[in-house]
Chains A and B, each alone.
Chain A
């Protein structure tokens, strides 16, 4: 199926969903503070556009942007360190694996307590949400390098640094980016939860206040903005990935994806 046809199908299914939603709300006369109809959400989004976009979207975007950037920097540094030194890897890696099983959301209040109710606290919670998937994917990418390829470079007389820069780093990028894509969506959850725990601005704060005031349409409007932001981040990471992994742009890349999925 071509891209445009896929797009049309998706658009159609979206319209169908909204139509069904609208119909259910009207037919059963559901009170709008329980489930507002999509038309109500859109009207509310239009009415609130200035505060939503200029104040709250901007605040959340700042938290997500700074949090994700710091997270990538710390996580990649740790992945490099684990790759460079077996002792660091042995000391740290078990905790990184274990940390995947901790419900991170439960730790968020502590982070807010430590880092404060201002921007720093939100950034800390965002880092908490996104750090581990990035470390794991970056490190696994570095580790997954074909040993025969390393040997080939050694027969060419390559030193440790050249093997890292010319082979291990580029070979790890597809792994890294799939982790980053997951982290990009997590970062929005992180920032939202940070805002729930105490804030004076941001889409999470706005949504929580709206639900407290039984303004379900305003809550849904903020959720809509949050999910659009998530889609945008996802798309952005995809674009950056294409820029750095040229092989994904050409024909046979599908085979590789299959291989990754099989692993």
Chain B
């Protein structure tokens, strides 16, 4: 049985002016998979997301979504940005209903659908609160719900928990694992946190090199369901060590190249 590829990049080139970001870049993400993207900052992870959402177009190469070539990708992928980007003048329910409104669902119907979802996100009592009244973790949950309600089967999460404190972050990671299992969506997450990358993902993709050409793909050999205790398993620790080593090498390599260039 062939696995349906939800995201498929083949030979994609992209540059900002003279600066080549991606060069004949390949990436495949299967249906229902959770993939973490990790790499040094400024390497082009957010550019990759903008290519997937359709905010940017590749110079050459092919991008497929849901198994079909997709030149026009806006509105087909759910995106959870790094900053929650909630509208301060809209209530929790109104913020979450935004993608539905944009798809033309009447406001009342959209809000009714949101209200049905809110309990699952622990936001039932907060439906009419404004973002300014919420904690960081709650704001990220609203932002996640908004991405889910776009109806897309692919969700892109851009460092979703970077701004949260350590304890909230661990809670949110466990929560996200549950949500992934419940929704069955395909998820692609950018993170700077190696532990987070391993804990959540089926596969960690290491983005290194400038431009990025051949990403290093590392399957995560941990069974599901996973909990925080997984962090102490030898497989986890070995993989963490391996990723750390790779990132360190990439960093040295980059510093050397910049030194030669400069």
| B85 x A148 contact (CB < 8 A) | yes
With beta carbons under 8 angstroms apart, the residue of B55, B98, B132 that contacts A166 is B98
Residue of A nearest to B131 (CB): A247
Q: Say whether chain A's binding surface is mostly helix, strand, loop, or mixed.
A: helix
Which residues of chain A from 231 to 263 have a CB within 8 Å of any chain B CB? 245-247, 250-253, 255-256
Mask of B67-108 contacts with A, CB within 8 angstroms, 1/0: 000000011110101010101111100000011011100000
Complex contact A252–B99 (CB within 8 A): no
Q: In the complex, A162→B75 CA distance in Å?
A: 13
Nearest chain B CB to A71's CB is how many angstroms away? 25
Flag the segment in A87-95, A130-138, A150-158, A200-208 that touches B. A150-158
In the complex, are the beta carbons of B88 and A155 less than 8 A apart?
no
Which of B75, B87, B88, B130 contacts A156, CB < 8 Å? B75
CB distance from A166 to the nearest CB of B (A): 7
Question: In whole angstroms, how far apart are the Cα atoms of A246 and B129 in the complex?
Answer: 10
With contacts A146-B85, A148-B85, A167-B87 taken as known, whether A153 is within 8 angstroms of B102 at the C-beta atoms is: yes
* Residues A155 and B55 in contact, CB atoms below 8 Å apart: yes
Chain B nearest CB from A209 CB (Å) reads: 48
**Which interface class (under 10, 10 to 19, 20 to 34, 35 or more) fits A?**
20 to 34
Q: Assess whether B137 is interfacial by the CB under 8 Å rule.
A: no
* Interchain CB contact (< 8 A) of A155 among B74, B89, B91, B103: B74
How far does the Cβ of B112 sit from chain A's closest Cβ, in whole Å?
19
Taking CB atoms, residues of chain B closer than 8 Å to A170 are 87, 89-90
The answer to whether B130 touches A246 (Cβ under 8 A) is: yes
Interface size class of B (residues with CB under 8 A): 20 to 34
**Would A252 and B133 be within 8 Å (CB), given that A154-B55, A155-B77, A247-B88 are in contact?**
yes
B162 → A minimal CB distance (Å): 15
Contact across chains for A157 and B103 when beta carbons are under 8 A apart: yes
- In the bound complex, what is the Cα–Cα distance between A166 and B98 (angstroms)? 9
Bound: A251/B79 CA distance, A:
28
B53 at the interface (CB under 8 A from A): yes
Q: How far is the CA of A171 from the CA of B129 in the complex (A)?
A: 18
Least distance between A178 CB and chain B CB atoms (Å) = 15
Residue B150 at the A interface, CB < 8 A? yes
Tally of A-B residue pairs with Cβ under 8 A?
69
Contact yes or no, A157 B88, CB < 8 A = no
Whether A256 touches B74, Cβ cut-off 8 Å, given contacts A157-B102, A251-B132, A251-B133, is no
Scoring A residues 91 to 106 as 1 if CB is less than 8 Å from chain B, else 0, what string do you get? 0000000000000000
Residue of chain A at shortest CB distance from B150: A156
| A residues less than 8 Å from B132 (CB atoms) | 247, 250-253, 255-256
List B185-229 residues whose CB lies under 8 Å from chain A. Answer: none
A23 to B103, CA, bound (A): 70
Quick check: B83 and A155 within 8 Å, CB to CB?
no
Give the shortest distance, in Å, between A104 (CB) and chain B (any CB).
33
User: Shortest distance in angstroms between B101's beta carbon and chain A's nearest beta carbon?
Assistant: 7
Is the C-beta of A149 less than 8 angstroms from some C-beta in chain B? yes
Q: Are B87 and A155 in contact (CB under 8 A)?
A: no
Q: Is A173 an interface residue (CB 8 A)?
A: yes
> 27 interchain pairs (CB within 8 A)?
A151-B55, A153-B102, A155-B55, A155-B75, A155-B77, A155-B79, A156-B74, A156-B79, A156-B99, A156-B103, A157-B74, A158-B102, A166-B101, A167-B87, A170-B89, A170-B90, A173-B89, A246-B89, A246-B91, A246-B130, A247-B132, A250-B129, A250-B132, A250-B133, A251-B132, A252-B132, A253-B132
Chain A residues in the interface with B (C-beta under 8 A):
146, 148-149, 151-158, 162, 166-167, 170-171, 173, 245-247, 250-253, 255-256
User: When A and B form their complex, which 10 residue pairs have the shortest distance between CB atoms, in order from nearest?
Assistant: A157-B75, A252-B132, A247-B88, A155-B53, A155-B79, A156-B99, A158-B102, A156-B102, A250-B130, A247-B89
Instruction: A155-B74, A158-B102, A250-B130 given; name 4 further pairs at CB < 8 Å.
Output: A155-B55, A156-B98, A157-B74, A247-B131
